[in-house]
Amino acid sequence: MSQGSNFVDYVKICCRSGHGGAGSAHLHRDKFTATGGPDGGDGGRGGHVIVKGNAQLWTLLHLKFRKHVIAGDGDSGGSSLSTGKTGRDEILEVPLGTIARDAETGEVLFEINQDGETKILTGGGRGGLGNWHFKTATKQTPRFAQPGEEGQEVWNILELKLLADVGLVGFPNAGKSTLLSVVSAAKPEIADYAFTTLVPNLGIVAYRNGRSFVMADIPGIIEGASQGKGLGIRFLRHIERNSVLLFMVPADTTRTIKEEYQILLKELNEYNPELMHKPRVLAITKSDMLDDELLGEMKKELPADVPSVFISSVAQKNIAELKDMLWTEINKQ
């Protein structure tokens, strides 16, 4: 299977938690006691559906074909105040950066960011109370107990947002995949047409003195992505999880570099204004074909509020300088 078919960042699952066990209405009896008091135990809680963070996972592929998750029911209470057994919990392991939503309302329920972190996605029903809870001064032998609470059946969505130190932002064909293949061991599919990258690629970028950082090549956004055009919003959400955004504009763009940078900023702002607070670096790609005179002219039109560098992934031009700039921004965090 290619990486594309292995990368799953969205699954919809029907989660059914367990029913609570019924409380017992037992009255104490033994060879010395013919009419003892109530000693019915409580029912066991129904099983939860639980989501657990696993730092070794990068995708939701293992949940793609698991449409129904059913937790176990709790057992009924017994005599001698014995509580019923708790229903079996179902644990769904997910990569860090996974968000759980209610499929009907779209409401975000929680987010998993730590290895081993657990959250209850669908809670099991409570066990019913045994009859000894209902004993009073006037009712010494209640012959009734509570039934267990029903479990829940809910459709939930699990969505992955990639965790990376640097996210590459640019239109299709801006040279993002090429850069990632040059600075890391990632082998993204590269071709000279729009939307080659259909899934995010992650690469570990080696830096000086054995240090490294994670770079994510996020599929190209286009004007209107924030309204869901093209491959829009599915990919914009991955940008939310990156600590530094590397904007990439090719030197051969038909617009000016400043115009293209402003369009990319506008898309991000419309999708999520909080993204505007992230540190930014601007790389002008494919700059090996520029002569000194043209380079001088283009430098004059660069946006003033963002550190920028002219690079060429193919010619390895200024790649070390770019890594230095990114490392500085990452460590300002």
Pairing of strands 98-102, 108-112: antiparallel
Cα 269 to chain centroid, rounded: 21
What is the C-alpha radius of gyration for the chain, rounded to an integer number of angstroms? Answer: 29
Regarding whether 273 and 219 lie in a shared domain, the answer is: yes
Regarding whether 156 and 7 lie in a shared domain, the answer is: yes
Regarding whether 143 and 290 lie in a shared domain, the answer is: no
User: What CATH number did the domain enclosing 135 receive?
Assistant: 2.70.210.12
Regarding whether 170 and 156 lie in a shared domain, the answer is: no
Q: What is the pLDDT of residue 82?
A: 93
Domains: count for the chain: 2
- The residues pairing with 38 across neighbouring beta strands, listed in sequence order, are 27
Q: What is the pLDDT of residue 227?
A: 53
* Contact criterion met (CB below 8 Å) for 74 and 125: yes
pTM: 0.64
Q: What is the pLDDT of residue 200?
A: 60
| Full pLDDT tens readout for the chain, 333 residues | 334 455 677 899 999 999 999 999 999 888 787 777 899 999 999 999 999 999 888 788 889 889 999 999 999 999 999 999 999 999 999 988 899 999 999 899 999 989 999 999 999 999 999 999 999 988 888 999 999 999 999 999 998 876 678 888 887 777 777 888 888 765 544 444 443 344 566 777 888 887 878 787 766 555 444 455 444 455 556 666 667 889 988 888 778 888 889 988 887 787 677 778 888 999 988 888 777 777 778 888 888 888 989 888 888 888 889 999 998 888 875
* Contact criterion met (CB below 8 Å) for 259 and 226: no
According to DSSP, residue 231 is labeled: T
Q: What is the pLDDT of residue 317?
A: 85
Regarding whether 139 and 174 lie in a shared domain, the answer is: no
Pair of tokens at residue 230: 């093209």
Pair of tokens at residue 245: 């955004």
Regarding whether 185 and 128 lie in a shared domain, the answer is: no
Q: What is the pLDDT of residue 240?
A: 66
User: What CATH number did the domain enclosing 315 receive?
Assistant: 3.40.50.300
Pairing of strands 10-16, 153-160: antiparallel
Regarding whether 174 and 153 lie in a shared domain, the answer is: no
Regarding whether 55 and 124 lie in a shared domain, the answer is: yes
Q: What is the pLDDT of residue 57?
A: 84
* Contact criterion met (CB below 8 Å) for 323 and 183: yes
Pair of tokens at residue 186: 């990632």
* Contact criterion met (CB below 8 Å) for 122 and 93: no
* Contact criterion met (CB below 8 Å) for 17 and 58: no
Rounded CA-CA distance 197/217 in Å is: 8
Q: What range defines the domain where residue 145 resides?
A: 1-160
